[in-house]
């Protein structure tokens, strides 16, 4: 086996802000005015452990579960980072290339209505 091929296999891919594989681009998140770089699943899990308890919801639990599963080698690290990226987007803490946290666009009334044929929840 050539040295270059072996090095390529051992290098761990990183995930950029949109959740696609891109070598060397860490995910940046901002909490309380402090920007942190998330380079791997362990960094993401550490960040989630410090997340405010009053802000922990379903999306938070999904991200924490994905990170835990990746650490236990039950899912890939890239899948866990994609889930963490979704959490960061929903929480409004994802930092873009320009610096400030990226915000979600406001939902329209149409997007909040159930799809045709579905009933409104009781």
Write the pLDDT tens digit of every residue in 53-68: 999 999 999 999 999 9
Q: Which residues contact 87 (CB under 8 A, 6 or more apart)?
A: 48, 59, 60, 62, 63
Element (H, E) at 2: none
Rounded-to-integer distance, Cα 53 and Cα 35, Å: 19
Mean per-residue pLDDT of the chain: 76
pLDDT attached to residue 25:
76
26 pLDDT band (50/70/90 cuts)?
A: confident
Rounded-to-integer distance, Cα 68 and Cα 72, Å: 6
In the numeric block, which tokens belong to residue 113?
Answer: 């209505």
């Amino acid at each position: 086996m050539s040295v270059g091929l072996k090095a390529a296999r051992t290098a761990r891919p990183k995930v950029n802000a949109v959740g696609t594989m891109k070598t060397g681009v860490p995910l940046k998140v901002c909490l309380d005015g402090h920007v942190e770089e998330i380079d791997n699943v362990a960094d993401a899990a550490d960040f989630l452990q410090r997340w405010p308890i009053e802000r922990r919801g379903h999306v938070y639990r999904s991200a924490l579960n994905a990170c835990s599963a990746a650490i236990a080698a039950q899912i890939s690290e890239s899948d866990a980072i994609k889930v963490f990226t979704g959490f960061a987007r929903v929480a409004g803490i994802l930092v873009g290339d320009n610096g400030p946290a990226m915000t979600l666009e406001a939902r329209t009334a149409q997007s909040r209505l159930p799809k045709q044929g579905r009933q409104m929840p009781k």
